[in-house]
Structure 1
Amino acid sequence: MIGLPRGESRVGSGAVPLILTLTACLVCGCADYRSRPLDQDELVGQLAVPAPGSLAEAASRLRHPRLRPVSLDFSKPLTDEALGILAVLVSPELKAFRAKEAVAEAQVFNAGLLPDPKLFGRFDWVFSGPAGLVSPYTATLQWDLAKLATRSTDLHIAEEHARQVRLDVAWQEWLVANQARLLARRCAYLARQEAVAAEAAQISAQLLELSRHNLALGDATLAELGIREAAFLDAKDRSLALARQIAKARQDLNRLLGFPPAQRLVIADVEAKPPAGLDPERLFVSARRQRLDLQALEAGYASQEASVYRAILGQYPAFTLGINDYHYYSDYNTGGPTVSLDLPLFNRNRGAIAIAEATREQLYREYLGRLNQTRADIGTLVTDLDRIAQEREPLARELPELIRAERLLREAAAVGDATLVNYETVRANYLDKRLKLLALEQAAAEQAVALQLAVGSASIL
């Protein structure tokens, strides 16, 4: 520690007023305490959905390293990109996370402050003793110079930590935005599947009524009626299951946005073209350059590097400087500078150095682990997208023929030129293939968002 040494200085007749004056000035410059209790009305206001106008303005002025400003128009269905920006603006978790930025900036401010000097005073009354004794005064002015010697290093540590926090906040915003986009795409594709399943349930209901009519006329058997009833129940169950999935996805989206459960957003339809020709190694190189969480870890490592250097500085002897003025019992004065020096015989800050170096090694391993996880995630997502494309291609080729066959057999069955059994077989095959294709398109759309998230950029091609 570098500082000003302790001494005892005379506090003469003019010293006491000087000390009182300095104390009054210092007190006047102090910050005031302001209480902030948990106000229930304020909390209710914070939980309310913000006004559309304020959200639209905030979305148009958004500043983010990876997210672009958008135009929010609540009179129209919201795209997945618009919902992503909306999530960044209103997510309660992000609002709490952003408060860390203020703490980090306050730490930078604190690290840059100069140390305050310390003033010590003492006054003794003489109650007995030889004649002629006067009451002695002593005062000490101290200034810790160790803070000055390490100020630039402490400031560098705080600045790198603040940069890490800012990047962490930006990364969390990126995660929330893409999670909202993924949920929006899930809702859109599930709605398509639910519409197909509802149509199938309606056709099954019509076939069931037709079978009951034919049974009454003696043109159908109970076995055929049982088949129609089972087909109708299966189609109805599938439609209801998809409706439940849509409801859950919407609830997840409302929870992410911090909206009430009953809030219903109108989501625009999505036409997402699955990416093709992806190179995992090239995407990994791009991720190392663009992922905000990796940049945050790099800033944290730089901060810890400075912390190691700060710990190394702490092993050197610390000294204190001071100015002394003594007023003795016999009414004479002495004074002068003093120096105190720490002797690094036992501690030598070895414990702090060991902790700082071990923490640096831990951060290094965490960074390597994040790189490895990033590379693995990108490879897995690219492989999944390739497999989805391989499954989707033959289905996309077969579906037009199945659509035509289903329409022709439905028309033939309506006039009695085809049996319901034949039509049911073709219809079930067509329904399965159509729903499977929609499910694959949903998976591809969601995986594309996940890949953009993993790479750290909306542009992955």
Structure 2
Amino acid sequence: MRIAAAMLLAACMGGCATYHAKPLPEQAASATSLSQLQGFDATALPLDMATVERLVLLNNPDLKTQHARHQAAQAHRRQDGVLPNPSVGGSVGYLLSGPGDATAWTASISQDIASLITLRPRREAAKANADGVDAGLLWEQWQTLGKARLLVIDLVEGEQQLALQHQAMESQTQRESRILDAVHAGNMERVTVASDLAAAAEARTAFDDLQRRQLDLRQQLNALMGLKPDVVLPLASTLPSASVDAAAMREQFDSVSRRRPDLVALQLGYRAQEATLRAAVLAQFPPLAIGYDASQDNSRVRNGGPAVNFTLPIFDHNQHNVAIARATREQLHQQYTVRLATAHDDVDALLAQYVQLDAQRQTLAPAADDAVRAASQADRAAQAGLIDVRNATDLRVAAINRQLAQLAIEQAMLEQQAALELLVGRGMPTSLEQDVMAP
């Protein structure tokens, strides 16, 4: 018996984990150059949209924690699927007085049957929960890439707007300088040119605002990549024109429940709750333990036999846990239904906005081209002394404003396209590894 006990103890200790301290770092810093980023290729400069997305996916600080969250979910899955341990008991009764001549002892071993009955649904729930965590992590990746896309669009389009606004500011500044020279010479009254001076100040303010916005966007993109705020990202100067096929988008939305990870995660959460509800229903039966008891009294009389232990379900027969599980399932059902309907409405709304922007672009394009031609003609006329420089500047600024409006529409269309691709899961796999059925 001593040898058996020692072997049993060694087997139990062999599966035990050990503890090792892991202190937190005293300092941490973001990358100070592109070369420190994982997956960076110097031959890929300037960075296009696909390269930026790849670098964000590999280096985003928040996404780097996903491996640990995946490991934690898998650990919970393994723990929830482990067989319940048998219970072992024993006691020793030393002879203190009386006619006996031996030490009494009792020993027992039993197994919880109720835990075995609910083991299968609990394992199903644990698997669905773990897979749901992975789907949620994939959705976080997809949203992070969507944010990176929008930042690249705003930065590239913003640089073009900044260049045009700089031209407008320079034109206004040159006119302002001439006007101030004339005012100081006594050839003009400041009151008569107040609107021109105000226009020059507004042009500088607009340019400064754009500069601040560009800096903020660059710092946001750097943060997504795990770079320090002052690192300069050389982005490609142009982007492909926006192109949205409404029919194709709606066709892709038909399978969005299998493509978008957030919807897949909700489905898996619902599946896990279904299994949890089944386990709660099975747990209504009386908790039952079956085992074997053996004993010896002080006169060396030994006996043994099967033992059964169960709880009478008089007051508590798990009805509250069943009600909670059923209510939670209904909540998840409603949440999934609302999310799916909302996604459909969002796609319809974005498609309508895109159509409106496209119509505005088509209307604005001829007017912008005409304004640019008129400004060019006015510049030539001003150089020949045929018209006043002040009027030529007004026409030039008007043409620039038309171009800025055109760029703003193009930027909005690119943003709408990126949002639509995010909503329909365009570019995501058509299904995950597990076979998921919508509730």
> Do the two structures share a fold, i.e. TM-score over 0.5?
yes
Partner of 1:56: 39
One-letter code aligned to 2:157: Y
Q: Is the 8 A contact 1:402 1:430 kept in 2?
A: yes
Structure 2: gaps of 5 or more residues:
429-439
Partner of 1:36: 22
Q: How does 1:409-420 map to 2 (within 5 A)?
A: 409-420=378-389
RMSD (CA atoms): 2.4
Which of 42, 46, 67 is matched with 1:77 structurally? 46
Aligned equivalents of 1:253, 1:242: Cα separation in 2: 16
For these two proteins, the number of residue pairs brought into alignment is 427
**Deviation of 1:240 (Å):** 1.0
Q: Does 1:172 pair with 2:140?
A: yes
Which of 410, 420, 436 is matched with 1:441 structurally? 410
Partner of 1:4: none
Q: Is the 8 A contact 1:168 1:296 kept in 2?
A: yes
Tell me the TM-score normalized by structure 2. Answer: 0.90
Q: Is the 8 A contact 1:56 1:73 kept in 2?
A: no
One-letter code aligned to 1:315: Q
Aligned equivalents of 1:355, 1:49: Cα separation in 2: 51
One-letter code aligned to 1:255: A
Change (3 A) 1:29 1:287: closer
Which of 221, 226, 248 is matched with 1:258 structurally? 226
**Deviation of 1:84 (Å):** 2.0
**Deviation of 1:406 (Å):** 0.4
Task: Single out whichever of 227-236 and 212-221 deviates more from structure 2.
Answer: 212-221
Aligned equivalents of 1:185, 1:171: Cα separation in 2: 21
Aligned equivalents of 1:53, 1:244: Cα separation in 2: 27
Change (3 A) 1:352 1:27: same
Partner of 2:12: 26
Tell me the TM-score normalized by structure 1. Answer: 0.86
Deviation per CA, 1:37-56: give whole Å up to 9, x if none: 2132xx526x4469747622
Partner of 1:292: 261
Structure 1: gaps of 5 or more residues:
1-14, 58-71
Q: How does 1:315-334 map to 2 (within 5 A)?
A: 315-334=284-303
Q: Is the 8 A contact 2:252 2:426 kept in 1?
A: no
Aligned equivalents of 1:296, 1:132: Cα separation in 2: 67
Deviation per CA, 1:79-130: give whole Å up to 9, x if none: 1222222222222222234422111211222233333222222112222x22
Q: Is the 8 A contact 1:212 1:225 kept in 2?
A: no
Percent identity reads 29
Which of 337, 342, 346 is matched with 2:311 structurally? 342
Partner of 1:363: 332
Aligned partner of residue 254 in structure 2, secondary structure: helix
Aligned equivalents of 2:25, 2:181: Cα separation in 1: 67
Change (3 A) 1:93 1:102: same
Q: Is the 8 A contact 1:52 1:74 kept in 2?
A: no
Partner of 1:117: 86
Partner of 1:161: 129
Q: Is the 8 A contact 2:114 2:283 kept in 1?
A: no
Change (3 A) 1:39 1:220: closer
Q: Does 1:194 pair with 2:180?
A: no
Q: Does 1:148 pair with 2:116?
A: yes
Deviation per CA, 1:55-79: give whole Å up to 9, x if none: 227xxxxxxxxxxxxxx54761211
**Deviation of 1:224 (Å):** 5.7
Partner of 1:65: none
Partner of 1:231: 199
